[in-house]
Chains A and B, each alone.
Chain A
Amino acid sequence: MTLIQDRPEEHLVHEPVLMEIVPGPRPRGLVKYITSTDHKQIGLNYLVTSFIGFLFAGLLAEGIRTQLIVPNNHFVTESVYNQLFTMHGTIMLFVFLGPFAFAGLGNYLIPLMIGAPDMAFPRFNNLSYWLYLGGFLVMSCGFLTNNGAANFGWFGYAPLTEAIHSPGPGADMWIIGVALTGFSGIFTAVNIITTIFTLRAPGMVMFRMPVFVWNQLVTMFLLLLAFPVLTAAFALLWIDRHLDGHFYDPTHGGQPILWQNLFWFFGHPEVYILALPYFGIVTEVLATMSKKPVFGYKGMIGATLSIGALSMGVWAHHMYTTGAVLLPFFAALSLLIAVPTGIKFFNWIGTMWRGTITLNTAFLFCCGFLVMFLFGGITGIILAQPVLDFQLHNTYFIVAHFHYVMFGGSAFAGLGGIYYWYPKMTGRMMDERLGKLSFLVLLIGFNLCFFPQHDLGLRGMPRRIETYNAGMGWNFLNMISSIGAYIAGIGVLLTVINLFYSYRRGQIAGDNPWDGQTLEWACSSPPPDHNFEALPPIRSERPVWDANHPDQLTKVGH
């Protein structure tokens, strides 16, 4: 913990301090990747690994859409199809969406944004990453076993997951893999919460932290509340499968509904674990690109806190059709989440209002997030009402809804975050023309893929069916949806190409290419070991803006 005491107290932003902090040769390449405890290296490890997970799970999704492109198709067998959608969901949620934001961007950016030299527990941080990578590999290697990977859907409803219904090591590897990523998440949460509470720079009081950091903080508390429950539920399942337990086994007095309650008690906070950090990305990008402070900064934080609180009490809205939950209670809380989410939307508009908006790729992806998350939110209000959920539950309407929230919402914001912070991480700008093309192709492909699925759901097409009758009126919409999936895949590939291309050929970025507002833009690109040689004075939530625009200081208080 000597890290804190070494740090200079207050300096002006441009004061050069040319001092090598760490003596001796530094490990490079693979050795650095394996051994580093630097939060930036670990953050990059997470970002790269989770993006590989995104591409892998995306490939599985293309398999799903290929199977469904025409009725009575035989692209894959029933069992393989079930493995495809199970692992698509599992990898997207446990390997990509969550860790990309809370572990990848969180690790990289939180110490920078609060003016800390590293995370509070650097080695613990390294351990988290290895548990995470292990989890990813274990669950994916299920495909190599003779019965194939897990094939019962990403929320694995008991008793289908019991050994008698799903024999074979694929399901076990799914349990172990998810549990490992869960432990990784818990450790990361402990680390980040401690970092935020103890390692903030002088002057960085809680209400001067960027909204991104606030959202990460709330996310981490949700993670601490939710993931242990998941791990416990998985442990019980393991006991059921291997030690003759009967927790979820109805033939011996177990309760399948117990699994659903435990799983969704984790599962709904998880949805906000996958959304809140992305809200933070969007907030930072919109404010920077509009050259404005975040409108209603404190209201924004209040909204984040209330979303976090409400999200702990809405898990049973995934279980309306079980007939075993108190409908009005969960419906009321679910509908209430619309209020803080609405506050965020109006604050985002207020942030852009009368600003000076640079329409670059990062901003466009975040606007894509706004529009599609808005639509996903409105369908969410429909689904929050049990009577309408009775009609739409487990149909393609649900699939469309959560892809608008998770893909059109979170993943778009994540891509915006990549374009926004790539210069900080590599020192080079990403190619704007390729980026805008990627955005356009992805936007068109995404909407072609998922908008028709609302209609499919209203026409009664269940999710997770491997094939369908040609006479149901679903053929055309499925065809459109599959074509959209291919186009969206091309859009993602364009960004992948851009990542590699810009790594060597991109324009040199400089320390602060966007006229950024928060502390990460005060250090070099990429930041040196232990981050800061000097910090600007922190008088508001935008220290770098205040240092660069002395005539336009952020007003403190209101």
Chain B
Amino acid sequence: MRAVETHLLGKTNFGSPGGVTTQDHYVRQLWHITYVFAVPIGLIVLGGIVWCMIRYRVRPGHDRTPSQFQYHIPIEATYTIVPLVIVAIVFGYMYNAENHVDAIAKNPAVAITVEGFQWGWRFTYPNGHEEVGTVANELDINSNDNLPVLFMPAGETVQLHLVSDDVIHTFYVPEFLFQRDLIPGINNVVDFNVIKPGLYSGQCNNICGVYHAYMRFLVQVMPVAEYNAWYAQQPAGSITTAGVPAQS
């Protein structure tokens, strides 16, 4: 099975962007397991349907009444029990993956509060520095210049505290292969360990009102030294608003 995985499926991303976090391994493994079972079963069922349509269709001059068989207990038992076993195997892999993906570290390198509001994002760092962006500056959908930016160090565990004060939003970065809701009254905490530095785009993924589509943000993942240098420059309690020139 592992050989099949690596040779046939190892290089593909199944159309999705390659994951950039340590969670990628588990997500990819789960895709593989699902494909290994789902594709053959799907093909068998599809083949059965197409075979019946072609092989047993009425042709001119063929006017027979088919045999009226109705039950075949061994076959019926087989296609009940085998799927049960497969479901158990898939569930086992899923359970393992979920424990890793959802794990929360006790001592994260950085803890950032991510607040969603109608319609924008506020990222608050441990020293009180805030990165903010609102829809007022983002209404040009084709421009990424005025989006709020979440700065994160690469290769470290970054803990995000997800909060909302008005309606439900969702923190979603496609390259992280992960999303989590920001629900008023519930404090969600997620950990990311991004391996690959880069600039990623994220977006609110839960309908939150008129300007839902414009509630976008960027994630800037930097090597640790670079991140530390950036962080050192941000005065405690300062606010950077995307699209608004910094005030002196």
B70 near A386: Cβ-Cβ < 8 Å? no
Q: How far is the CA of A439 from the CA of B187 in the complex (A)?
A: 49
B213, A468: Cβ atoms closer than 8 Å: yes
CB of B179, distance to nearest CB on chain A (Å): 5
- Checking B31, B58, B185 against A250 with a beta-carbon cut-off of 8 angstroms, the contacting residue is B185
- For B57-76 the 0/1 string (1 means CB < 8 A from A) is 11000111111111111011
Encode B31-59 as 1/0 by CB contact (under 8 A) with A: 10010001001100110110011001110
Closest chain B residue to A540 by CB distance? B70
Q: Are B167 and A335 in contact (CB under 8 A)?
A: no
Cβ-closest chain A residue relative to B208: A160
Across-interface contacts of B72 in A (CB, < 8 A): 295-296, 350
What is the size category of the interface that chain B forms with chain A?
35 or more
Q: In the complex the two chains form, is B208's CB within 8 Å of A558's CB?
A: no
> Considering the chains assembled together, what is the distance between the CA atoms of A342 and B79 in angstroms?
8
B113 contacts across to A, CB distance below 8 A: none
**B205 engages A462 (CB within 8 Å):** yes
Within 8 A of A (CB), among B168-196: 168, 170, 172, 174-175, 177-181, 183-186, 188, 190
Q: Is the CB of B16 within 8 A of A378?
A: no
In the complex, whether A554 has a CB less than 8 A from a CB of chain B is: yes
A385 neighbours in B (Cβ, 8 Å): 30, 34, 90, 94
> Is the pair A359, B57 in contact by a Cβ cutoff of 8 Å?
yes
CB-CB < 8 A to A355: which residues of B?
Answer: 52, 56, 66
In the assembled complex, B142 has its CB within 8 A of some CB on chain A: yes
For the complex, is A353 an interface residue (Cβ under 8 Å from B)? Answer: yes
For A356, the closest partner residue in chain B by CB is B66
Inter-chain contact B48/A349, CB cutoff 8 Å:
yes
1/0 per position for A458-481, CB-CB distance to B under 8 A?
111010111111111000000000
> Cβ of B94 and Cβ of A386 under 8 Å apart?
yes
| B91 contacts A by Cβ under 8 Å | yes
Contact B95 A353 (CB under 8 A): no
B58-A294 in contact (CB<8A): no
Cβ 8 A contact of A339, one of B15, B80, B206? B80
Is A354 a contact of B66 with CB atoms below 8 Å?
Answer: yes
| Inter-subunit contact A165/B167 (CB<8 Å) | yes
Q: Provided the pairs A349-B52, A357-B57, A386-B94 are in contact, do residues A458 and B203 lie with their beta carbons within 8 angstroms?
A: no
Instruction: Look across to chain B and name the residue whose beta carbon is closest to the beta carbon of A515.
Output: B65
By a CB distance below 8 angstroms, the chain B residues around A375 are 42
Q: Which residues of B contact A469 (CB under 8 A)?
A: 141-142, 144, 201, 216
- Smallest Cβ distance from A11 to chain B, in angstroms? 24
- Asked if A482 is at the interface of the complex by the 8 Å CB criterion, the answer is no
Contacts of A298 in B (CB 8 A): 71
**What residues of chain A lie closer than 8 Å to B180, measured between beta carbons?**
321, 323, 390
Q: Indicate if A137 sits at the interface (CB-CB under 8 A).
A: no
With the chains together, A502 CA to B193 CA distance in Å? 64
Contact with B along A386-398 (1 / 0, CB 8 A): 1110110111000
A375, B41: Cα distance in complex, Å: 11
B172, chain A: closest CB distance, angstroms: 7
Bound together, the chains give a CA A79 to CA B75 distance in angstroms of: 54
Query: Please, which residue of chain A has its CB at the minimum distance from the CB of B215?
Result: A465
- Contact partner of B62 (CB less than 8 A), chosen from A350, A356, A370, A555, is A356
A48 at the interface (CB under 8 A from B): no
Q: Do the beta carbons of A394 and B53 come within 8 Å of each other? A: no
A388-B31, A394-B206 are contacts. A339–B42 as well, Cβ < 8 Å? no
Instruction: Report chain B residues within 8 Å CB of A339.
Output: 80, 83-84, 87
Additional A-B contacts beyond A157-B167, A458-B15, A555-B68 (17; CB < 8 A) = A71-B142, A152-B209, A292-B66, A292-B69, A336-B87, A350-B75, A358-B57, A367-B53, A387-B98, A388-B30, A459-B16, A460-B175, A460-B203, A462-B203, A464-B207, A465-B213, A549-B65
Q: Which B residues contact A (CB, under 8 angstroms)?
A: 14-17, 26-27, 30-31, 34, 38, 41-42, 45-46, 48-49, 52-53, 56-58, 62-73, 75-76, 79-80, 83-84, 87, 90-91, 94-95, 97-98, 101-102, 118, 141-142, 144, 166-168, 170, 172, 174-175, 177-181, 183-186, 188, 190, 201, 203-213, 216
A residues apposed to B, CB below 8 Å: 71-72, 78-79, 82, 151-153, 157, 159-160, 165, 250-251, 254-257, 290-299, 321-324, 327-328, 331-332, 335-336, 338-339, 342-343, 345-350, 352-359, 367, 370-371, 374-375, 378, 381-382, 385-388, 390-391, 393-395, 454-455, 458-460, 462, 464-472, 549, 552-555, 558
